[in-house]
Amino acid sequence: MLTIKNFFIEIMEHKEIDHNAAHLTWGNQFLHFISSIMMIYVYYMLWCWYNCRVCYVCNVCDYNITIASLVTISAQTLRQGGHFFIEGNATHKELLKIGYTTDMKKKAICGFIPTIYSFWYVFPNYFYNINGYQLSMLIYASIIMYRVIWLSIHGDHILQGLVWWCKIFSDVFTDIHLYGPTIWGETAPKMYVWTFPELEFYNKID
């Protein structure tokens, strides 16, 4: 039975697995710290957009979603750039992760996202009520929701999709605590607060 306590523990376990697998270099951790601050601002802008979305007499709603989109793109460029160019392709070390591996992210960036933008550009009649900023946020949300649904169907249990969603939503807050010391040059080492070293067998693979 998945109690609230076990639900929380599972979230923290997957945070730790993710950190130990693909977040061990100073540069990547520092970029995650910066992008986390940016994404918290995105949360705020989306909250503002949600609260004023019924307004039709001003451009505040459009402004909020535009800023949220631009900051999200910038934050994710830093975040994923840390994985691609600093940490390297750590897919072979991510066997226990339930989220996207580095290789999956590359396929999404090089395949799925350009395809959607191409359709939006070539067939504007199908996207007449969606601008580029809104489309960016929809793509970002759809990538997350796809994984949530996939994990709910194929995961260890039906709530694993929700576990992963809670993990990535709260990552921006826990990353600030974990990677904040990168400001003065420290690097967070592997951690085994919620997991055990035995789970790290795959990290021995070169």
CA distance 67 to 65: 6
What is the SS3 string spanning 84-138?
A: HHHHCCCHHHCCCCCCCCHHHHHHHHHHHHHHHHHHHHHCHHHHCCCCHHHHHHH
Query: Which residues, 6 or more positions from 136, have their beta carbon under 8 angstroms from its beta carbon?
Result: 69, 72, 73
Phi-psi region of 185 (alpha: psi -120 to 50; beta: other; left: phi over 0): left
Looking at residue 93, its pLDDT comes to 83
Per-position pLDDT tens, the chain of length 206: 678 999 999 999 999 999 999 999 999 999 999 999 999 999 999 998 888 765 555 566 778 889 999 999 999 999 999 999 999 877 778 888 999 999 999 999 999 999 999 988 888 877 777 888 999 999 999 999 999 999 999 999 999 999 999 999 999 999 999 999 999 999 999 999 988 876 666 555 44
CA distance 14 to 8: 10
Please list, residue by residue across 111-129, b when 16 or more beta carbons sit within 10 angstroms of its beta carbon and e when fewer do.
eeeeebeeebeeeeeebee
Domain boundaries, the chain: 17-204
| Nearest to 64, CA basis, from 134, 168, 127 | 134
Sign of the CA dihedral with 72 first, then 70, 124, and 56 last: positive
Percent of the chain residues past pLDDT 70, beyond the cut:
91
CA distance 176 to 182: 10
